[in-house]
Amino acid sequence: MKGKGILACGMTLAAIVIGVTGCGGSLQGRNAEEVEQKNAALGISVHDPSIVKSEDNYYIFGSHMEAAQSADLMDWKSFASGVNGSNPLFDNLFDEKMEAFAYVGNYVEGGYAVWAPDVIYNETMGKWVMYFSTSHDWRTSNICFATADEITGPYTYIDTLLYSGFTSMTAEKTNLAEIMGEDVKVTNYLQSAEYNHLNYPNCIDPTVFYDKDGKMWMVYGSWSGGIWLLEIDQTTGYPIHPEADEEAHVDKYYGKYLIGGLHNSCEGPYIFYDAESGYYYLLVSYGSLTREGGYQIRCFRSEQVDGPYVDASGSTFGYVADHSGLGVKMMGNYLLPSLKTAYMAPGHCSALIDDDGKMYLFYHQRFDNGSEYHEPRVHQMFKNKEGWLVAAPFATNGEGLKDGGYTKKEVEGNWYLLNHGTDIGAAIHEGEAVTLKGGKLSGSTEGSYELEEGTCYMNLVLNGVTYSGVLLDMTDEAGNAVRCLMGVGNNNETIWAVMYL
Which listed residue (36, 66, 267, 311) is catalytic? 267
| Strand pairing class (334-335; 429-430) | parallel
Please count the CA atoms within 13 angstroms of the CA of 167 that sit on its side-chain side. Answer: 6
Is 243 a residue of the active site? Answer: no
DSSP H or E segment with residue 280: strand 279-286
| Strand pairing class (267-274; 255-259) | unpaired
Main-chain phi, psi angles of 266, to 5 degrees:
-170, 115
Which listed residue (36, 48, 66, 306) is catalytic? 48
Main-chain phi, psi angles of 350, to 5 degrees:
-140, 170
Of 216, 217, 225, nearest to 198 (Cα)? Answer: 225
Three-state secondary-structure class, residue 500:
strand
Is 48 a residue of the active site? Answer: yes
Alpha-helical segments (H) within 375-447: 408-411
Alpha carbons 420 and 443: distance in angstroms, whole number:
18
End-to-end CA distance of the chain: 39
Distances (CA, A) of 45 to 7, 64, 70, 299: 19, 11, 14, 25
Of 229, 231, 232, 233, nearest to 220 (Cα)? Answer: 229
Tell me the DSSP string of 180-204: H-TT--GGGGEETTEE-TTTS----
Alpha carbons 270 and 254: distance in angstroms, whole number:
17
DSSP H or E segment with residue 442: strand 440-443
Alpha carbons 487 and 91: distance in angstroms, whole number:
46
Contact 30, 332 (CB under 8 A): no
Length of the chain: 501
DSSP letter for 203, please. Answer: -
Main-chain phi, psi angles of 436, to 5 degrees:
-105, 125
SS3 track for 466-490? EEEEEEEEEECCCCCEEEEEEEECC
Distances (CA, A) of 462 to 51, 420, 444: 36, 13, 12
Enzyme catalytic residues: 48, 267
